[in-house]
Structure 1
């Protein structure tokens, strides 16, 4: 009698997905969608941070070359980047404070400090809005993949018990499907964690830059305030 030769199981990624149980397919699809979402956030926020840093440098150069703060106010009010919005917020408070009659120097300084701080916090909060998504994907994706792995292994053991066959040809496809779910979970999680840390670092540097500019702007207004006569 000729020996029976079993065809080798197809263990390619596509075959593993097609052959997988519906639960594992849902897990895999969800993890792939999370990976695409995280990459979209990483690319969009990286591009936006790069653009904002370039705009901040350009605005700071423009700020120090301007003849007066009032001359800079009108074009800055039309700009759409954090440095310009922070400058406009400070100038609005400056103008309101000087229009009240008697000048309370310490009060003006305190309000300017508060306004600039709030403006910076608002801008950083807006830019960091989607970073929590990356943090969530990085933390949860491995466990979702692990769930798919556990489910796949349980399904494999059930199949072994039903067939009473423990040969590698029977066991391998189910185990491979299960491990593939974990691999996709790591594929989604690792870039999300790296992207989160890099973007968080970029946000920290931008916040430091805006804070430095805010202190310089505040110092300039404070010196002008000292040169004014009491009303």
Structure 2
């Protein structure tokens, strides 16, 4: 009997604990493992994406402030699939050109339409940066409780086994409790990276969005001066 107990306690590996667990606990563990894999997939994707966005912003700012004319830069970017500052610039210039082609006369209305076009594009770019961050928040907040649910179910099963065997021997109790606690451990393994990644990527997305907002404000001021220069002669002639 003692040899059986020693054999049971020596077979407490992660795989054996998983295989000995009940159906509900197994489903909980598998779900948490899938959530952990999804978390790391998002982490890799966002790390590459944010690095690419930073390079695009740096390159666009370098070109924009190099002294190249706005019309030439617009012709270069208008036929391309742009993002970030490039998308904001193209949307503003497109509204600018449409308004003047239709004979814009009111500078305030033109300025408002340009600002609105940039705001819509900025919101779209910000939404793209924050895509799938909600999944990280959900995993980070829910995974520990899901793991705890698996632990509770596992411990209840262990107590039922103890009652059935009418034995409180540690060799009988330990495997069931260990497999139950494994669910909590996997839940924390999924939650901790998700919380850290969510906080980091939220801060990074905020910084990138702030850079685009600053560019939109600067470009709005540039276009405002050009609107005054273009419409001032028209207003003087009308007077």
Q: TM-score range by the shorter chain?
A: over 0.9
TM-score (structure 1 length as normaliser): 0.95
Q: Which runs of 5+ in 1 are unaligned?
A: none
TM-score (structure 2 length as normaliser): 0.92
Q: CA RMSD in A?
A: 1.3
Bigger mean CA deviation after superposition, 99-108 or 134-143: 99-108
Once residues 50 and 142 of structure 1 are traced to their aligned partners in structure 2, the CA distance between those partners, rounded to angstroms, is 30
Once residues 4 and 197 of structure 1 are traced to their aligned partners in structure 2, the CA distance between those partners, rounded to angstroms, is 51
Matched, 1:146 2:169: no
Where do 1:192-203 residues align within 5 Å? 192-203=194-205
Q: 1:160 to 1:102 in 2, by over 3 A?
A: closer
Match of 1:133 in 2: 135
Match of 2:14 in 1: 13
Once residues 141 and 214 of structure 1 are traced to their aligned partners in structure 2, the CA distance between those partners, rounded to angstroms, is 39
Match of 2:125 among 123, 126, 131: 123
Once residues 182 and 102 of structure 1 are traced to their aligned partners in structure 2, the CA distance between those partners, rounded to angstroms, is 65
Deviation at 1:74, TM superposition (A): 2.3
Where do 1:1-231 residues align within 5 Å? 4-5=2-3, 6-8=5-7, 9=9, 10-77=11-78, 78-228=80-230, 229-230=233-234
Deviation at 1:79, TM superposition (A): 4.1
Once residues 57 and 65 of structure 1 are traced to their aligned partners in structure 2, the CA distance between those partners, rounded to angstroms, is 12
Once residues 176 and 68 of structure 2 are traced to their aligned partners in structure 1, the CA distance between those partners, rounded to angstroms, is 73
Once residues 121 and 104 of structure 2 are traced to their aligned partners in structure 1, the CA distance between those partners, rounded to angstroms, is 26
Q: 1:113 to 1:194 in 2, by over 3 A?
A: same
- Provide, for residues 103-139 of structure 1, a one-character-per-residue CA deviation record: whole Å limited to 9, x for no partner: 2111111111111111111111122121111111111
